[in-house]
Amino acid sequence: MQLVVDTNVVFSALIAGGKTRELMLSGGFDLYAPEHFGTEVRNHRGTLREKTGLTGDQLDTLLDLVLDEITTVPGDAFDNSLPAAREAMADIDPDDAPFLASAFHLGCALWSDDGDLREQDLAPVVTTTELVERTES
């Protein structure tokens, strides 16, 4: 199953671990994110260190493990989908437009635990709970 993964899911995998990290590292999904995604995650390295209690080296190892599971979608690949995604996300969360545009471009669902994303109709949204239920049945 192809999924575009939202930043909140990756932060959950890094900070809380649990089922989110397990799903992400299982290899059972083809995960994608817009190309700026890795930089965005690494820009929060200080906060991630505080919240995880990991050393810098430990966090870097975990970041590498998680980010290696995610294929980046070049911006020019979803450029045509971006205007519709920006419009759909204007009153929800404009920062999520590239994630939505990537999902729309790839014709797949967006993995996010942000309930507001369900207000748009360009791409389906699945939560971690829904993915756990699918994998356990």
Domain boundaries, the chain: 2-136
Question: Distance (Å, rounded) from C-alpha 105 to C-alpha 98?
Answer: 10
Fold of 2-136: Rossmann fold (3.40.50)
Question: Distance (Å, rounded) from C-alpha 125 to C-alpha 19?
Answer: 18
Residue 110's Cα: distance from chain center in Å? 8
The model carries a pTM of 0.93
Question: Distance (Å, rounded) from C-alpha 120 to C-alpha 4?
Answer: 15
pLDDT confidence band for 135 (50 / 70 / 90): confident
Q: Please state the φ and ψ torsions of residue 16, each to the nearest 5 degrees.
A: -90, -25
Residue among 97, 95, 99 nearest 112 (CA) = 99
Q: What pLDDT sits at residue 52?
A: 93
Q: What's the pLDDT tens digit per position in 40-73? A: 898 999 999 999 999 999 999 999 999 999 999 9
